[in-house]
Structure 1
Amino acid sequence: MSRLPYVPGFAEPAGGTGPGGRPGPPKAGGKALRARVPRSSHAEWTPDAGRPGAVETVEASNAGRLPELTPIRAGRMAASPFAFLRGSAGLMGHDLVRTAVTGVGAQICGDAHAANFGLYGDARGELVIDVNDFDETLHGPWEWDVKRLAASLVLAGREAGADEDTCRAAARDAAGAYRHTMRLLAKLPAADAWNAIADEELVAHADARALLGTLERVAAKARRNTSARFAAKATEEAADGGRRFLDAPPVLRRVPAGEAAAVALSLGDYLGTLPEELLPLLARYEVQDVAFRVVGTGSVGLRSYVVLLLDHRGEPLVLQVKEARPSVLLPYAEKAGFAPGSPSAGHEGRRVVLGQKRMQVVSDVLLGWATVDGRPYQVRQFRNRKGSVDPAALAPGELDDYGRMTGALLARAHAHSADPRLIAGYCGKSAELDEAIAAFAVTYADRTEADHADLVTAVRRGRVAAEMGV
C-alpha cells in the first residue's frame, strides 16, 4: 500500500523532523537540548546594569492608564513584596530574557504567579480549577511561567510566615509537579492527554491532600459568587422599573450617558465573536446599565466596565468589558527569539480570549472581544462562580501542596500548545531542573523584596502617589 501524502496541520510522517525542525522523535529532541541549555543553568540570574528600578517600572507602566487611578495601583503594589511581583510582570520579563531559554515555545500565561490560579464555573455551573488570568498571554518560553510561579510561591510563603526551607520546598515542588505532570502527559494517547488530570483527580495527582479543607472552603464561597449576588449588592431599582448600578467610588462608579452607550453598543460586535448557538441565549437579555469598576493589581488604571443585563424574569447576568493592551512580555519574548504566535489579528482582546482558550480545559462560554471608542476589550462573565486560594494566607504545611497543584495545572495548560514529549524529554527524570528553578526563585524573591522596599521608600517620600487599602 502506498503512503498517503503529508497533510499540513497534522503530524509529520514518521522519520521526518520533529517540532521546530529538530531531527528525530520529540522526546529525543528534548533530551538533546540539555547539551545546549543544561538544566542546572536555570538557577542563574544576575540583575543587569540597565535593569529598571522599582519606581521607574511603576511610572513607565502607568503610561496610557487613567491617571486618577494610578495611586490605587501603586498602593496595592506597595502592600507587600508578593503584591509588587503581581504588578510587575513587565519587569520580570526584562529579567527573564537574561536567563536560560531552551527555545521551546508554548502558549504561556505570561503572569503565572501563585494567585492567578482558581475556581470558576463551566457552562453547567460545575466548578473547574485552572489558570485564570490571561492579560499577558502570548507564545513564549514555557520556562518563564514556571519561574514566575516558583518565585511567587517563595514570596507568598514569606508573607505567610513560613520559614525559608518551606518556601524553597514549595518552589521546588511546583517545578517537580510540572515535570512529573509533563512526563505523564507525554506517555498518554494524544486525546487522553488533552483532557487529562480531571479536577476531581487533581489533589491526588499533585499529592495535595493537606489543601482539601482550604479548597472546600474556597469552593463553597465560589458557588455563591454569582452575577445575581453581585447585582443584589451593587444595583438598585430604577425609576423605569429596571435596575441600575449604585455609585461606590473609587471601585465602582456610574459613567456619563455617552460613555455607557458606547460600551453597550460595542456588545453588538461582541456577539459576532461568540459561537452562533449562544446567540439565542443572549437575545433573551436586555442591556440595563453600565458602570466603571476597578479590578486587579496589574489592571488598575485600565478601562474596565461591568454591564448589567436582565432576562424576562428580572434575573441578572453581568458581563465585564475590560481593556486589553499588548502583552508586557511581547518585546522580551521577541528578544528571546519568539515571534508573536498568539492570534491577535490586530485586536488584543482577541489575543487574550484565544490564548485563554488554548490553555484552559474548559473556558467561559461567553468569552469574546469588542472595540469601544477604538480601543480593544475582552468580554467575559463577571463573578462566574470564581474563587481563589490566597497563597499568602496558607499555613506552612499547605504551601508545598499548593505549589504541586499549581505546577501540575501549569503543565496541563502548556501541553495544549507544546508537545509534552519535547518538554518532558528536556525535563527528564531527575530533580536537577526542580532544584535549579528553586534556586532561581529564592534569588528572584530576594531581588523583589528589595524592589518593593524601594517603592515603599518612594511612597513615603512623596515621589510616588499611593492610595493604600483600596
Structure 2
Amino acid sequence: MGAVGVGDAVATVPHQSDGATGGRRRLPRVQGFAEFAEFAGAGVRGGGAGAASSSSAFPSAPSPKEAGKALRRTVARSAHAEFDAETDTARPDAVTAVEESGRGRIPELTPLRVGRMVATPFAFLRGSAGLMAHDLARTPLTGIGAQICGDAHAANFGLYGDARGGLVIDLNDFDETVHGPWEWDVKRLATSLVLAGREAGADEDTCRTAAHDAAGAYRRTMRLLAKLPALDAWNAIADEELVSHTDAHDLLGTLERVSEKARNNTSGRFAAKSTVAVDGGGRRFVDAPPVLRSVPDAEAAAVAAALGPYLDTLSADRLPLLGRYVIHDVAFRVVGTGSVGTRSYVVLLLDHRGEPLVLQVKEARPSVLLPHLAAVGFGAPEVAHEGRRVVLGQKRMQVVSDILLGWTTVEGRPFQVRQFRNRKGSVDPAALAADQVDDYARMTGALLARAHAHSADPRLIAGYCGKNEELDEAVAAFAVRYADRTEADHGELVRAVREGRVAAETGV
C-alpha cells in the first residue's frame, strides 16, 4: 500500500491533551492498522506495553476468542462431519466435471491430464479441486475467512530453498488460492490423507486417525499461535521445531532423505539433463515429449519479452541479480496433475560463467473456488491479474517465499513466474509406511494452521475449535465419507476411459 495522507486515510478522533498521566493517548485511526476497539476485552493480561485493561473504553466488545466460541452455537463443531452428495441434484458427474475443468486448456494435453487422474483415487482428487469446491460449498461453515490454499491436499506440502541456501518446509502450490473458508483447506487435507493412506496400504483405522490427527494438529497449533504476540505468531514453529511440535519422529528418516535429494534438485542439475551446448555459445533445451518440447521462435520471443514487465513486480533489490543473466532459450514443459493442459514454460538464463538459472512461467487461471465463494457468503472481489492473485496469496501464507516470485502477461494471458527446481523436494504421502502416515498428517495440519494464521486472527479460529476433540472427530468422519465419494468418482472416470468415451494417455 502506498503512502496515504491524513485527510483520506484516518478517522477523526476527539482531541486529548498531552501528558503521561492523562490516560491512553487518542491518535488517529490509520488505514491498514488495527483499531483499539478491536482488542477490547481480549483478555490480555499483564501490564506491559499493549496490554488492554479490563476497564477499557470498549468494555462490551467480545474478545476474538469469545466470538469464536459463540460461533459454536450457530455451527456445532460436530456438524463438520456432514456430507451427502446423493441429494445434490446439481452435482456434476465425474466425467462432466473433468471435461468442464478442461475448458481453456490446451486440447492436445487433455488425454495426458486424464491419464494422470485415472492412476489412483488420490490422483483424481488432486485433479478435481473444482468438484470438491462444489461439494464443500454445501457443507456447514463458520463464516471465518482466511487466505486459503484452495488445493491443500497432502502432496502440496514440500521443501524448497530460501535465499540463504537453506531449506524450508511449507505449502508450495497456490494456483487456487483465495480468501475463503478455512474449513475447506482442512477438509481437503484430511480427505487426501485418507486416500493417500489407502493407496499406501494402511488399514482404515490408520487412515481415519491420520485425518483426525491432521485436524487435531491444526487445532492445537492455532491455540498455540493465539497465545503468542503477533510477531512471534507470524514466525512461529521454525522448521527445526516442527518434528518435535507435531511428535513426528517416525518421519525423521524420510525427511532427511527428502532434504538430501532436494539440495541437489537445482536449476543446474535440470539444465545439465535438459539442455545442450549450441554453436556460437550458450545452450538450448532438448525435446523430451510430451513433457518438454521446443516452441516456435515467435512464441519463445513473446515469453522472453514478458520477462520485462515481470521485473516490475519484483522488489527493486532483486533486479541487480537478474541483471547478471542472459536469456538463452524458452521451452514448453508439462507440470503437475491438476495443472496439466495449462500453458507452462521454462526459461533458461545463463550468467557470465555459463551457470544456469531456470525460471518457470506458468499460466495463472481463475481459481476454481471462485464460482462457489458467493454462494457461501464470501465476496469474490474482481481480480485484476490472476498471476498477482497467486503470488500475493502465496506470500500471505508462506513464512518464506521465492525471492524471484512475480507475475506477467504473455499474449493477453496472465502468468506467474518463479524459480524452477529451487531445491524442491516432497514426501510422497501415498508411499509412507503405516506408522508414518499420522506423523505426516500432524505435520501438515500444523503447517496449514500457521499459514492460515497469517491472514486470519488465530484467537478467533482457536476459540471456535476449542480444547476437546469434537472438531477432530467431525473432520475425520467427513474425510472418510468424502474419500469414499472420490473413489466412486474415480471409478466413473476409469470406466469412461475403458469404454472409450474419454481419451487418456497413461504412464507419463
Q: Same fold (TM over 0.5)?
A: yes
Give the match for residue 374 of structure 2.
Answer: 334
**Counterpart-to-counterpart distance in 2, 1:239 and 1:382:** 25
The higher relative CO (CA closer than 8 Å, separation ≥ 6) is in 1
Summarize the Cα distance change of 1:15–1:72 in structure 2 as closer, same or farther, 3 Å threshold: closer
Q: CA deviation at 1:462?
A: 0.5
Mapping 1:316-331, distance limit 5 Å = 316-331=356-371
Please name the residue that 1:422 is paired with: 460
Deviations 1:10-38 (A, max 9, x none): 2222477899xx94111011000000000
In 2, Cα distance between equivalents of 1:146 and 1:23: 29
Q: CA deviation at 1:168?
A: 0.2
1:354 maps to 392
Give the conservation status (yes or no) of the 8 Å contact 1:23–1:29: no
Structure 2 unaligned regions, length at least 5: 1-21, 43-59
Is 1:314 matched with 2:337? no
Q: What secondary structure does 1:115 align onto?
A: helix
Judging changes above 3 Å, is the alpha-carbon distance between structure 1 residues 424 and 290 closer, same or farther for their aligned structure 2 residues? same
Structure 1 residue 125, shift from structure 2 partner? 1.2
In 2, are the aligned partners of 1:182 and 1:424 still within 8 Å (CA)?
A: yes
Normalising by structure 1, we get a TM-score of 0.98
Provide the rounded CA distance (Å) in 1 between the counterparts of 2:334 and 2:341. Answer: 7
Q: How does 1:56-71 map to 2 (within 5 A)?
A: 56-71=96-111
- The Cα of 1:383 is off from its aligned counterpart by 0.1
- Cα distance in 2 for residues equivalent to 1:403 and 1:90: 23
Cα deviation, residue 5, structure 1:
3.3
Please give the secondary structure, in 1, of the residue aligned with 2:389. helix
* In 1, Cα distance between equivalents of 2:306 and 2:37: 48
Please tell me whether the aligned partners of residues 262 and 424 of structure 2 are also in contact (alpha carbons under 8 angstroms): yes
**1:313-355 CA deviation, whole Å, 9 max, x = no partner?**
00000000000010000011121111136xx751000000000
* 1:215 alignment counterpart: 255
Structure with higher Rg: it is 2
2:189 is paired with a residue of what secondary structure? helix
Report the alpha carbon displacement of residue 96 of structure 1 after superposing the two structures with TM: 0.1
Aligned equivalent of 1:38: 76
| Structure 2 SS opposite 1:449 | helix
User: Matched residues in 2 for 1:282 and 1:9: separation?
Assistant: 32
Whether the 8 Å CA contact 2:37–2:61 is kept in 1: the answer is: no
For the 8 Å contact 2:359–2:418, the answer to whether it is kept is yes
Instruction: Assess if the C-alpha contact under 8 Å between 1:18 and 1:29 holds in 2.
Output: no
| Distance in 2 separating the partners of 1:367 and 1:346 | 18
Equivalent of 1:173, from 204, 209, 213? 213
Please give the alpha-carbon distance, in whole angstroms, between the structure 1 residues aligned to 2:27 and 2:165.
Answer: 44
Please give the alpha-carbon distance, in whole angstroms, between the structure 2 residues aligned to 1:15 and 1:65.
Answer: 45
The CA deviation at 1:6 is 2.9
1:365 alignment counterpart = 403
Aligned match of 2:131 in 91, 102, 109?
91
Partner of 1:10: 33
Percent identical among aligned pairs is: 77
**Is structure 2 residue 493 aligned with structure 1 residue 455?**
yes
Rounded to whole Å, the distance in 2 between the matches of 1:356 and 1:244 is: 31
Deviation of the 1:9 alpha carbon? 2.2
Question: 1:176-325, aligned counterparts within 5 Å?
Answer: 176-325=216-365
| Alpha carbons of structure 1 residues 451 and 203: separation in structure 2 relative to 1, 3 Å | same
Q: Which residue is equivalent to 2:95?
A: 55
Aligned counterparts of 1:80 and 1:17: Cα–Cα separation in 2: 51
CA deviation profile, 1:132-159 (whole Å, cap 9, x unmatched): 0000000000000000000000000000
**Could you report, residue by residue, the CA deviation over 1:196-255 in whole angstroms, capped at 9, with x for unpaired residues?**
000000000011000000000000000000000000000001112110000111000000
Alpha-carbon distance in structure 2 between the residues aligned to 1:402 and 1:40 = 24
Instruction: In structure 2, give the amino acid aligned to 1:227.
Output: S
Aligned residue for 2:290, secondary structure, equals coil
- How many residues end up aligned between the 2 structures? 466
Structure 1 spans left out of the alignment, 5+ residues: none
Match of 2:484 in 1: 446
Going from structure 1 to structure 2, the CA distance change for 1:90 and 1:235 (only over 3 Å counts) comes to same
Q: Residue 8 of structure 1: CA displacement?
A: 3.0
Q: Match of 1:49, SS?
A: coil
Letter matched to residue 269 of structure 2: R
Partners of 1:255 and 1:15 in 2: CA distance: 54
Structure 1 residue identity aligned to 2:386? E
Which residue identity is paired with 1:134? F
Instruction: Verify the 8 A CA contact 1:303 1:323 in the aligned structure 2.
Output: yes
Amino acid at match of 2:440: Y
Distance 2:390 2:31 in 1: 26
The structural deviation recorded for 1:75 is 0.3
TM-score, length basis structure 2: 0.90
User: 2-side partners of 1:170 and 1:362: how far apart?
Assistant: 27
Alpha-carbon deviations, 1:385-409, whole Å to 9, x = none? 0000000000000000000000000
Please give the alpha-carbon distance, in whole angstroms, between the structure 2 residues aligned to 1:345 and 1:278.
26
> Which residue of the partner structure matches residue 434 of structure 1?
472
- Residue 204 (structure 2) aligned to one of 161, 164, 177: 164
Secondary structure of the residue aligned to 2:92 is coil
- 1:382 corresponding residue in structure 2: 420
Amino acid at match of 1:397: D
Closer, same or farther: CA 450–276 of 1 in aligned 2, 3 Å? same
- CA distances 1:124-183 after superposition (whole Å, capped 9, x unpaired): 110000000000000000000000000000000000000000000000000000000000
Query: Structure 2 vs 1, CA of residues 75 and 14 (structure 1 numbering), >3 Å: closer, same or farther?
Result: same
Moved over 4 A (4+): 15-19
CA distance in structure 2 between the aligned counterparts of 1:23 and 1:118, rounded to whole angstroms: 41
Distance in 2 of aligned mates of 1:24 and 1:86:
40
CA distance in 1, matches of 2:39, 2:177: 31
Does the 8 Å CA contact 1:121/1:128 hold for their aligned counterparts? Answer: yes
1: CA distance between counterparts of 2:198 and 2:170? 24
Distance 2:399 2:350 in 1: 29
**Structure 2 Cα separation of the partners of residues 116 and 332 of structure 1:** 22
